[in-house]
Structure 1
Amino acid sequence: MDNLTAGKLFLVPTPIGNLEDMTFRAIRVLKEADVILAEDTRTSAPLLKHFGIDKKAYAHHQHNEHQASAEIVRFLKEGKKVALISDAGTPAISDPGFLLVRTALQNGLDVECLPGATAFVPALVNSGLPADAFVFEGFLPVKKGRHTRLKKLAEEERTIVLYESPHRLLKALEEFMEVMGADRQASVSRELTKLYEETVRGTLTEIKSHFENNILKGEFVICIAGKAEEKKAKKHYDSDR
C-alpha cells in the first residue's frame, strides 16, 4: 500500500471539563477530518457545535470497536483522515481507542496522537507525591482479580495513580487501607478543571473521613504514595523524634 495516498488516524484529546482546554490544533484537525468517531455522539455533539465543527460524529465505543475497526481501516486506505475522540480526555487512556490504533498499525497506516487533556496528569502533579516515576493503573478490576492486584500494588515503590467512580470510592479507600495501611499518604482529586474542582490530601484514613461527610460527585483520580516513599517518610519522622 502506498502511504502517500493512505489516510491517517488522529487521536484527538478533548477537555475533561473546562472547554478552554481545547487546543487550536485539535479544533483544526477535527474540522479537516473526513470522519469523526466519538465514544458517545450525544456527548460529542455539543462539543463539536461549540467549536463550530459542523460534522456528524459516528459512534465508536467498547461495544462496537471490534467490528468497526475493519471498516475504519478501509476508510484510511481510501485516503480519508479519521479523527477519534472520547467523551473527555485522551482516547485509549481508560477509553476506547487501543484496538483501533493497533489495527491501523498492523495495516501499515499512520497514527498520530495529539497532546492534550487527560485527568491523571494534573491529579498526579497536584498530589504532592513524587511524579518522576509512577504507575498508572486506570480502573482496577471490579471483582475478579481485584484483591490480587491490590496486594501487588501494596508492594509498588512508585506513586500509584488510579481512576474510581463515585459509588465505589469509599469502598476502594477501605480496601487500600486494609492492604497498604491506614497511614499511607494519598491524594484524591475530583471535578478536575471544573468549577468545584477539589483535591484532598493526607492519609488514607483522613481522606476517607473527608469523603464520608461530603457529596460524592464526579470522576475521581486517586494517587497513593509508593512503598518506598512511605519508608522514607517514616525514617524522616523517626529521626525527628
Structure 2
Amino acid sequence: MSNFTAGLYVVATPIGNLDDLTVRARQVLQAADVVAAENPTHTRALLAQYGIKATLTPLHQHNEEQQSAPLLARVAAGEIVALVSDAGTPLMSDPGYRLVRAAKEAGLSVIPVPGACAAIAALSVAGLASDRFAFEGFLPAKSKARRERLASLASESRTLIFYESTHRIVESLEDMAAAFGPSRRACVARELTKLFETVSTAPLEALVALTRADANAQRGEFVVLVEGAADDDGSAAQLREGLRVQALLKAHLPPSAAAKLAAEITGAPRKALYGNGDGGN
C-alpha cells in the first residue's frame, strides 16, 4: 500500500546524470497509478533503469487540453497521477501548465517533487548575479523575432536565462552580442551533468568566437545566461531604453527615421542614437 495520498505529483527527473533522480521521486513514480509523460517511450526507458514499472500516458503540447480532464478525474477518484517531462522539472519550457492550473481550479492537491532543473543548475555555476534573475526559456526560432525579443530585454537588470538548441546556438549568441553589447558577460552551459559538460563564462564576443570556432561546442543542449544591464544613472538607463526602442523600430522604418522616433519616444539623446551603427543618414 502506498504512503502517498491522492494528488497530482509534479516530478523532476534527471537532465543527464541518472543518479540525480531523487529517492522520493523514485517512490512517487513507483506508487503512481499513472504517469503523464511528455514522451512515454523516453520515460519508460528512464524508469526501466530503476526497475520501475508504471502505466504511462502521453501529455504534450498538442494533447494537454484533452488529457487534463481524464487525468484529473483519476485524481478526484483517489488516484496518484505523476507528471514528468523528458528531462528536468516539468513546466520549465515543457508541457503541464494547463494540467496544473486545472487541478488547482478543481481544488485538487498538486504536490511538487523537486529535483534537477537545467536553468537553476546553470545559474549556480555561472558566476553571474543570482539574487535576481529572469527565465526566458527558448528564444523565437526566426531571426527577426529573436532579435526583437532580445532588443526588448537590453535594459533588463536581472540575470537573463535562456534555453537554446544546437541548431541555433551560434546565431543566438551573435544576436545577443548585438543586442546587449559584445562586452556584456555571459555564460554558456552545455550538456549539464552529462559526459561532455562544459561551462564557459566570458564576454559575449569571446563566447561567440569560441562557439563558432569549435564544432563540438555547438553540439548538445544549452543554457545561456547573460549578465543584467548595470543599474547606473538615469541618463544611461534612458539611452539603453532609446537603443531598445530604436532596434524595434528599425524593423519597420529606415534607420534615420527609427533613431529620430526612438529619441522622441524615450527622451534619449538623438545624437547617440544616430551614431548607433547605421542610425545616421
Q: Distance in 2 between matches of 1:230 and 1:122?
A: 29
> Does the 8 A contact of 1:192 with 1:198 survive in 2?
yes
> Does the 8 A contact of 1:162 with 1:221 survive in 2?
yes
Q: What is the TM-score when the length of structure 1 is the normalising length? A: 0.90
Q: Which residue of 2 aligns with 1:184?
A: 184
**What code does the residue aligned with 2:66 have?**
Q
Which shifted more, 70-79 or 24-33? Answer: 70-79
Q: Distance in 1 between matches of 2:141 and 2:165?
A: 11
Q: Which residue of 1 aligns with 2:110?
A: 111
Deviation (angstroms), 1:7: 2.9
Is 1:202 the counterpart of 2:202? The answer is yes
Q: How does 1:119-138 map to 2 (within 5 A)?
A: 119-138=118-137
> Does the 8 A contact of 2:33 with 2:55 survive in 1?
no
Q: Which residue of 1 aligns with 2:164?
A: 164
1:154 partner SS? coil
Q: Which residue of 2 aligns with 1:23?
A: 22
> Does the 8 A contact of 1:13 with 1:91 survive in 2?
yes
Which shifted more, 92-101 or 136-145? Answer: 136-145
Distance 1:229 1:190, change over 3 A: farther
Deviation per CA, 1:2-33, whole angstroms, max 9, x where unpaired?
xxxx9300000000000010100000001111
Q: Distance in 1 between matches of 2:232 and 2:195?
A: 33
**What code does the residue aligned with 1:224 have?**
V
Deviation (angstroms), 1:52: 1.3
Is 1:45 the counterpart of 2:47? The answer is no
Gapped regions of structure 2 (runs ≥ 5): 234-281
**What code does the residue aligned with 2:187 have?**
S
**Structure 2 counterpart of 1:222, from 221, 224, 229:** 224
> Does the 8 A contact of 2:186 with 2:203 survive in 1?
yes
1:141 partner SS? coil
Deviation (angstroms), 1:141: 2.4
Deviation (angstroms), 1:230: 9.4
Q: Which residue of 2 aligns with 1:96?
A: 95
Q: Distance in 1 between matches of 2:191 and 2:109?
A: 34
Q: Distance in 1 between matches of 2:201 and 2:232?
A: 15
Is 1:60 the counterpart of 2:62? The answer is no
Q: Distance in 1 between matches of 2:168 and 2:232?
A: 25
Q: Distance in 2 between matches of 1:190 and 1:79?
A: 41
Q: Distance in 1 between matches of 2:223 and 2:49?
A: 27
Gapped regions of structure 1 (runs ≥ 5): 1-5, 232-241
Question: Which fold has the larger relative contact order, with Cα–Cα distance below 8 Å and residues 6 or more apart in sequence?
Answer: 1
> Does the 8 A contact of 1:185 with 1:230 survive in 2?
no
Q: Distance in 2 between matches of 1:68 and 1:194?
A: 32
The structure that has the greater radius of gyration is 2
Q: Distance in 2 between matches of 1:21 and 1:137?
A: 24
Distance 1:31 1:195, change over 3 A: same
- How many residue pairs get aligned? The number is 226
Deviation per CA, 1:142-198, whole angstroms, max 9, x where unpaired?
237433321121100011111000111111111111111111110000110011100
2:168 partner SS? helix
